[in-house]
Amino acid sequence: MKIKVKLTGLDCPNCARNLQTEINKIDGVKNAQIEFVKNSLTFESETPEVSLQKIIDLTKKLEPQAKISYKENKTNKNFVIDLVFLLLGIGIGVFIFFCPLNKGIYWTLYVISALLLGYKTYIKAICLLFKGIVNENLLITISVIGASIISEHMEGLMVIALYSIGKIFENLAVSKSRKSIEKLARMQPEYANLLTKKGETKVDPQSVAVGSTILVHAGEKVPIDGTIISGSSLVDNQSLTGESVPISKMSGEEILSGGIVLDGTLKIKTTADYKNSAISKIMDLVENASEHKSKTETFISKITRWYTLGVVVLAVLVWGIVWAVSHNLETAFYRGLIFLVVSCPCAFAISVPLSYFSGLGNASKNGILIKGSNYLDACSNLKIVAFDKTGTITTGKFEISKINATKGYSKSDILYFAALGEQNSLHPLAKAINENNKRKLVEVSNVREIAGKGVEYRLAGDKYFVGRKNKTMKATVVEAYKNDTFIGSIELNDSIKPTSILACNELKSLGVNCVLLSGDNSETANAVASKVNISEVHSNLLPNEKFDLLQNYKNKKGKVGYVGDGINDAPTLAVSDVGFSMGINGAPASIEASDVVIVDDNLQKIPTAIKISRFTRKIVWENIILSALIKIVFLTLGACGVTGMLAAVFADVGVTLLAILNSLRALYYRPNNKKMP
């Protein structure tokens, strides 16, 4: 059983990582994961209540200030207490350094000041040390004690004061990111106005069945995906798709959950349950995106586990070298302490996951649901994006343009025989056929779907086939056969999405090649490709041929993305490096198999995802390189005696804050996209 609880009060990512490691050692607990930025803890257990109590007891020992609950604590008590203690500690420190005091009072106040400024840091260092864990809390604790031993009292207090100030600012920056992401949670509707024979009743959205009728009044959120039966209104979809301009919705149109009705009242017939509606999918993906981490994030996470222990060993080595050269124990000890402070891994440990988290949040606000930072990372390296045609580049809403019938059969007969075979199909072609058939359907027997070709069935002793056998026909065609004899065909037309042309042009400007993979004949596929400016076209493809072709692209040309919406696209979406599916018209299987879901089916969101990905990756490497360079410089200067302890604190706390602020840029980045003329 999977359990999720709120975990508040942690003030550093390494603390979260160490706590996670220890929780996973508890008997009965599996796959425990702490999301520092999202204040959450998830774990699996067959005895959840017993395991949760063990986790709470362990957390109290290792992180006394942390709180575990099913609901997040919205108070700011910890922040206020930390700030009061910080100000008191600084005040006492200033007093003892500028006022003449006897030795006993001086040392008493000095210890009180040091405790007020860093009691949390010292407690964590000791608790974790007993568990065999060495992290930045121990480095700072050793530095304060060491500075006190060699009578560098002011520098000792400054180290812990600046470190504590840095942690407060770090928490504020992380809190800012959390609040931005938490805005998505406010998209969730609290109720639905269910229309029954007794009238209008407010109910939990999760209790509304598919096919129910609901009302959404002005100012209310659309709780469940559906089709508008009556009414019209402007709908604000900014939180859902990122579009700031309200869109007009009227009777007969589809509407997604999460939008806000601005005027009038809409009567909606639900086409999905709450779990499968757009808003629920968004929240689920945002909650679970961090389970799939990028290689960079995973590497940083692994290396920081051993980094601190390595720093302690190197600090001892620096101490030994300086002592051997200078023959001055105090100087050697002081420079070893500087090495400890500079080497704290905070800048790496928090800025990298925070950058990816901000990038994922930014994508979500733009209606792009990316299932993990590894997929966000992969978007930046795409060389080719291959598109399915029907329902992806085109609207997927077909209209019958012509019906052909052989001698002895009418056009109505061909439409009827086709509808009999397609009556249970969800394919767009089947939908158009069923909508146009006016004759009452009867039950058929021996129904057998032939993958990639069509449907076979029996009626009154005769065998019928509806689908496609002749690949040379020059249109989108559904053929009908009776006892293996051709009896007629239905020609259909599909329209191109307005955003398809812009999307393909923008992808090319980003250096990404576009390819069209279609099951239609070459003439139809080439006609569509020419309209959207795609030069490479592969037609007459069965689903397995699309799969093989994409695999070949991956082996020869690098990272490949695939964009599809149908059930038959699921295997190809799964094999691609990044699979993009459509959120409105996409089949559940394709959404499940994909790595990125485009909420509003707007293909322009694909270049947007790539731009956000590249910007986020750039920020990640800026943080890594900046932090590493500054630390190397200050480590060298500190070891040579050029800089002191205060400069070392800046190299740690200052760089961490700069990296965090830089990470937040990924949350507010706005790609420039071309608009429809």
Q: Is the dihedral of CA 279, 280, 281, 286 positive or negative?
A: positive
The Cα 408–Cα 287 span in angstroms is: 60
CB environment 365-386: b (16+ within 10 A), e (fewer): bbbbbbbbbbbbbbbbbbebbb
Give me the catalytic one of 11, 225, 273, 388. 388
Q: For the packed helices 153-182 and 346-365, what is the interaxial angle rounded to 10 degrees?
A: 20
N residues, the chain? 677
What separation in angstroms does the CA of 277 have from each of 219, 226, 573, 672? 20, 9, 21, 29
Other residues' Cβ atoms within 10 Å of the Cβ of residue 105: 11
Strand extents, DSSP E, 540-629: 560-564, 578-582, 596-598
Smallest CA-to-CA distance from 614 within 387, 386, 364, 378 is with 378
The answer to whether 385 and 564 are in contact (CB under 8 A) is no
The Cα 377–Cα 373 span in angstroms is: 6
CA-CA-CA-CA torsion for 84, 86, 87, 89, nearest 10 degrees? 120
Residue 328's contacts (CB-CB under 8 Å, 6 or more residues apart) are: 322
The DSSP output letter for 496 is: B
The answer to whether 229 and 213 are in contact (CB under 8 A) is yes
Tokens (6 digits) for 107: 């040392």
The answer to whether 389 and 382 are in contact (CB under 8 A) is no
Residue type, position 44, single letter = E
For 370, the enclosing helix (H) or strand (E) is strand 368-370
Q: Is the dihedral of CA 206, 209, 211, 214 positive or negative?
A: negative
What separation in angstroms does the CA of 556 have from each of 190, 283, 384, 551, 580? 50, 37, 11, 9, 21
Residue type, position 597, single letter = V
| Catalytic residue check, 377 | no
Angle at 622 between CA 620 and CA 627, to 5 degrees: 100
* DSSP state letters, 304-342: HHHHHHHHHHHHHHHHHHHHHHH--HHHHHHHHHHHHHH
Strand extents, DSSP E, 231-367: 233-236, 247-249, 254-255, 260-261, 266-270
Smallest CA-to-CA distance from 397 within 476, 333, 340 is with 476
Tokens (6 digits) for 437: 């058939």
The catalytic site residues sit at 388
